[in-house]
Structure 1
Amino acid sequence: MSTNPQAERPYKGNDRLLFGIIMGVVAFWLFAQTTLNVAPDMGRALGLSASVMNVAVAITSLFSGIFIVVVGGLADRVGRLKITRIGFYLSIVGSLLVAITPQGHLAAPVILLGRALQGLSAACIMPASLALVKAFWDGPERQRAISMWSIGSWGGSGLCSLVGGLMSQNFGWRSIFWVDIVVCLLGLWMMRGAPESKVETKGEYKFDLSGVLTFMVTMVALQVLVTQGNKLGWTSPVGLALWVVLIAFGWMFLRIENRKRSAFFDFGLFRNPIYTGATISNFLINGTAGTLIVSLQLVQIGGGMNAQQAGFLTLGYAVAIIAFIRVGEKLLQRFGPRKPMIWGCLITGLAIVMVSPANLMLTDYKFFAIAGYSLFGIGLAFYATPSTDAALSNLPAAQTGAGSGIYKMASSLGAAFGVAISAAIFTALNGNGADWLAGMVTFVGRQDNLAVREAAMIALGFNVLMVAVAILSIMLTIPKATKERV
C-alpha cells in the first residue's frame, strides 16, 4: 500500500480540527446515550413498552458495532475526513427522527429508525476520527489528542445521565435531540479546511459483502436472543431457531473471514497481544454501561425518583471522568499502559460494588451511589487513554481506520450487550425477584419493592464479573513496562 500524497504532505493537527471531531463524539456519547436515563420518560410519552424501549436503548450501540469495522476500513480508502462528515450528517438525520417521533402506531418504527441512524453515525465518526488523530498528531501531542477525544467519549457518557435528566425534566426529552443537531452543525463548521487523509491500494479492491452480511445476521440474532430470549423462551421454537441462526452464521463468518484476502474483519491484527488485550478489555469495561441502566432504574422504579433526581446521583461520575482523564494520560507516560489499565479496572469494580447494596434504605443507598459513581468515573478515566493509545500504537499505518473500527466495535458491542444483558436480567427478575438472595441478605425498609431490589443486585453482580475478566485479559496480554518512564 502507498500513502495518499495528500496525507503525506506535512499537516499538524490543530485544536479547531480536534474539537470539531470531538463534537461528533459528543453527539453520540453525551446526547444519543441519554436514553440510558430518559428511556422511561420517552416510553411513557410515546406509549411504548419497557421491552421496546430496551431495544431502542441498545439498537444504537448494536448498529454502531455491526458497521464500525466496515466503515473504518472504507475510511482508510475513501477518506477519513469524508467518512467523519458522513457520520455527522447521519447523526443529524437520526436525531431529527427521534425528536419528531409521533405517538401512536408509528412511534416504534420511527424511534427505532432514528436510533439506528445514530448508531450508523457513530460507526462512521468513531474509527475515522481516531484514524485522523493518529494521522495528524504524534508523540505526546497524540496522547493529548487521545485524552481530549476520550473526554468527549468517556466524559460524554459520564454526563449523559445528568444532562438527559435535567433536559428531560425541564425542557422535555425531545429537546435533547434538537441540541444534538446543533452540536453536529458546529462540529462540521469547525472541521472546515482540514486536508483529507487516506491510503490507496494497489490492485482491485473487492468489498467483502459475504463477510459483512454473515456478520450482521450473527450480531442481530445474538442481540435478539440477549434482549428477548427470556420473553420468547430460550427453548421455544423461535428461541431455538435464533440459536441455529447464531451458530450457523457465526461459523460461516469465521470461515469466510479467515479465507478472504480482502476480509473486512482482519483477524491478523489480533496477532499483536497488546492490541488484543486493549480490545478485549475495552469490550468488557464498556459492558459495565449496564451498571447505569440498572442502578438508575432501581432508584426510579424501586425508589420513586424521577429522571432528573436519578441523574444527579451520577454527577460525581461526570466530574471525575473529565477531571481524571488527563491523569490517565500522565500515568501512561510514567508507567506504560498495563498498570493504569489494571488500576482503572480495579477502581471500576469497586465502584460497581458500591452501587450494588439495594438492600439499604434509599437515603443510605444514595450516599453509596454518589461515592460509587465518582469512583466509576475515576476508574474509567485511568483506563481510557492508556487503552486507546495501546491499541492505536500497535496498528499498521495502512489499517488505522479498520483497526480503530475493531477497537471501537468492542466499545459499541460491549456497551450494547452489557446494557442488554443487564437490562434483561433486571427485567426478568424484577417481577418475581430471587428468593435465594432474600435468604442471604437482609432488606430493610419497604418490602413491596423487594423483587426490584433483588433483581438490581444480581444484574449489578454480572457487571462486577465483567470487570474481573477484563483484569485477567490485561494481565495475560499487556506486558509489564521494562522500566518506569520519567
Structure 2
Amino acid sequence: METSNYKGSDKLTLGIVLGVLTFWLFAQSLVNVAPAIQSDLGIPMESLNLAISLTALFSGCFIVVAGGLADKLGRVKFTYIGFILSIIGSLLLILANGAVMFSIGRIIQGLSGACIMPATLALMKTYFDGKERQRALSFWSIGSWGGSGVCSLAGGAIATYMGWKWIFIFSIICALLGMLLIKGTPESKVTDENQSKFDYSGLVTFVIALVSLNLVITKGASFGWTSAETLGLAALCAVAIITFFAIELKKKSASFIDFSLFKNKPYSGAAFSNFMLNAVAGTLIVANMYVQNGRNFTSFQSGMLSIGYLIAVLAMIRVGEKLLQKVGAKKPMIWGTLITGTGVGLMALTFLPNTAYVAVVLIGYIFFGLGLGFYATPSTDTAISNAPADKVGVASGIYKMASSLGGAFGVAISASVYTALLPSGTSVAATVGLLVNVGFCILSFLAIVFMVPKNAGK
C-alpha cells in the first residue's frame, strides 16, 4: 500500500457521502416514480420493472471485480470512475425516449455503485484512524441507510413538484460536487506484485445467468411463458449456471466466488438470510405503485408514508449493535426478520378503507425499518467473524453482493407478480405482491434458525 502522511478530512468525508447518495438515494428513487415515468415515456410496465431492477443487479454482479480493480489500479481513480458513470447514467435517463436507453442508463448507474461503494470504504480505511474512522464510517452508513430510507420520499417529492427527471439532475450535481471535494486526495492502492488474475470467465457466465433469469422473471408474462423467447432465455440461464459452476469448481484459486466459504454454516446462514431480507425491497415498489394506481396518491404522498421507515432504520442500527454485544447475533437477527415480515404483512391489508389503510401502512413502514435495523449489524458481524482471517475481504464482497442481488431479484419478482395480477384488480395484485415479500422474510427467518448458532456474536 502506498504510504502517505495524508489524513482524511471532513471535505473528503462529504465527497464520499455524496458518492454514496448518488446510488442509494437518487439511483434507488425509481421505486416511487414508476407510474410517472410510465406515463411520460410510455414504457411497458414489465420493461420498466426490468429497468428498475437492473441497477441493483449490475451493482451486485460487479462489486467484487470493481473492488479488486480499485485495490490494484487506485481507489481514488475508481471513485472518480464511479462519479463519471453516475453522471453518464443520469444523463441517459434524462434523455431517454424509450425502454432501451432507459435500461442502459440504469445498467450504468449500477456499475457506478459497484465502483463507488468498495473504493470509498477502502479510502476511509486508508486515510482515517481510530475514532475518526468510526465517525467517517458512520457518515458512510448514514448516507447508505439514510439514502435508501429517504429515496421513496425524496423521489416522490421531486417527481410531484418538479418532474421525475429532476431526480437525476440532482444526482449529477451531487456527483460533480463529490468529484470536487475528493480532488487532491492522494492515490491509494495495493502494490502486491503477486496478485492473481481476476476470474473474468466466472464473472461473464455469472452475469449471463443472472441477466437471463431476470429477463425471464420480468418479461416472461409479456413474451408468453411457453414462448420461444422465454424458453430460450431459461435455457441460456441453465447453461450459464452449469458453465459457471464448472469453471468455479475447477479453479483452485482466484475464483470469482469462493465456494469454500459456504462450508461454514454460520456464514452461509448470514449470507442467505441477508439475500432474502434484502429481497424485501420489493415491498417499496409494490406499495408505492399500489397507492398511486389503486388509491390515487401522488408520488409525494406515497413517499410520505415511508418516513417512519427512514427514522426507524437509522435509530435502530445502533440498537442492533448493542443487542449483538448483549445477547449475541441470532436473537436480533430472528427478531429483525419477524418484525420486518409483520410490517410488510400490515401493508398487505389492502381491503381496508383509505384512512385505516394509511394508518396500517405508516405502522408497517415503522416495523419494516425497525426489523432491518435489528438485523443489519448482527448479520454483518456473523458473516465477517465466521470468515477465515485470510478471506475476510472476499467474504465481505460476497456478502455485499448478496445484498444487491437480493434487492434486484426481490424488486423484479414483486413487481412482476403485481403487474401480472393487475387484471384481477390493483388490490388483489398488491396483496399478493406484498405477501411474496412476507415469504422472503420467512425464508430469511428459517435460514437463521437452522444455520446460525445460538452463541454467534458472543
Distance 2:261 2:65 in 1: 15
Distance 2:373 2:457 in 1: 23
What is the count of residue pairs matched by the alignment?
457
1:309 alignment partner, one of 301, 322, 330: 301
CA drift of 1:156 comes to 1.2
- CA-atom RMSD in angstroms: 2.6
- The superposition leaves residues 339-396 of structure 1 with CA deviations (integer Å, 9 ceiling, x where unpaired) of 3222222211111111110111122111000111111112112222333344445556
Distance 2:194 2:457 in 1: 44
Q: Residue 448 of structure 2 aligns with which residue?
A: 474
TM-score scaled by length of structure 1:
0.86
In structure 2, stretches of 5+ residues that fail to align are none
Equivalent AA in structure 2 for residue 205 of structure 1:
S
Q: Residue 36 of structure 1 aligns with which residue?
A: 31
- Output aligned runs, 1:249-268, within 5 Å: 249-260=240-251, 261-268=253-260
- Output aligned runs, 1:216-235, within 5 Å: 216-235=207-226
Equivalent AA in structure 2 for residue 21 of structure 1:
I
1:150 alignment partner, one of 141, 151, 172: 141
Q: Secondary structure at the match of 2:25?
A: helix
Equivalent AA in structure 1 for residue 231 of structure 2:
L
Distance 1:52 1:240, change over 3 A: closer
Equivalent AA in structure 2 for residue 453 of structure 1:
S
1:245 alignment partner, one of 223, 236, 241: 236
Q: Residue 438 of structure 1 aligns with which residue?
A: none
- Residues 17 and 190, structure 1, Cα contact 8 Å, conserved in 2: yes
- Residues 298 and 456, structure 1, Cα contact 8 Å, conserved in 2: yes
Matching of residue 385 in structure 1 with residue 377 in structure 2: yes
- Residues 324 and 457, structure 2, Cα contact 8 Å, conserved in 1: no
Equivalent AA in structure 1 for residue 58 of structure 2:
F
Distance 2:68 2:249 in 1: 17
Matching of residue 461 in structure 1 with residue 456 in structure 2: no
Distance 1:228 1:153 in 2: 30
Distance 1:175 1:339 in 2: 43
Q: Residue 22 of structure 2 aligns with which residue?
A: 27
Q: Secondary structure at the match of 1:29?
A: helix
Distance 1:142 1:116 in 2: 32
Equivalent AA in structure 2 for residue 466 of structure 1:
F
Q: Residue 360 of structure 1 aligns with which residue?
A: 352
Distance 1:193 1:398 in 2: 32
- Residues 348 and 434, structure 2, Cα contact 8 Å, conserved in 1: yes
Distance 1:398 1:26, change over 3 A: farther
- Residues 75 and 401, structure 1, Cα contact 8 Å, conserved in 2: no
Q: Residue 337 of structure 2 aligns with which residue?
A: 345
- The superposition leaves residues 97-140 of structure 1 with CA deviations (integer Å, 9 ceiling, x where unpaired) of 21233x4xxx3222222111101011112233344455566787
Distance 1:162 1:198 in 2: 37
Q: Residue 91 of structure 1 aligns with which residue?
A: 86
CA drift of 1:181 comes to 1.4
The share of aligned pairs that are identical, in percent, is: 50
Distance 1:38 1:248, change over 3 A: same
Equivalent AA in structure 1 for residue 343 of structure 2:
A
Distance 1:226 1:139, change over 3 A: farther
Matching of residue 322 in structure 1 with residue 314 in structure 2: yes
Q: Secondary structure at the match of 1:289?
A: helix
CA drift of 1:402 comes to 4.1
Equivalent AA in structure 2 for residue 41 of structure 1:
A
Equivalent AA in structure 1 for residue 246 of structure 2:
R
- Output aligned runs, 1:68-467, within 5 Å: 68-101=63-96, 103=97, 107-133=98-124, 146-203=137-194, 205-260=196-251, 261-393=253-385, 402-431=394-423, 433=424, 451-467=425-441
CA drift of 1:408 comes to 2.0
- Residues 382 and 456, structure 2, Cα contact 8 Å, conserved in 1: no
CA drift of 1:464 comes to 0.8
Equivalent AA in structure 2 for residue 372 of structure 1:
G
Distance 1:138 1:278 in 2: 28
- The superposition leaves residues 217-261 of structure 1 with CA deviations (integer Å, 9 ceiling, x where unpaired) of 111111111111222222322222222111111011011012222
Equivalent AA in structure 1 for residue 211 of structure 2:
V
- Residues 73 and 401, structure 1, Cα contact 8 Å, conserved in 2: no
Distance 1:183 1:483, change over 3 A: closer
Distance 1:398 1:211, change over 3 A: same
Equivalent AA in structure 2 for residue 340 of structure 1:
P
Q: Residue 53 of structure 2 aligns with which residue?
A: 58
Q: Secondary structure at the match of 1:326?
A: helix
Moved more, 133-142 or 62-71: 133-142
In structure 1, stretches of 5+ residues that fail to align are 434-450
Equivalent AA in structure 2 for residue 188 of structure 1:
M
Distance 2:123 2:59 in 1: 19
Distance 2:296 2:99 in 1: 26
TM-score scaled by length of structure 2:
0.91
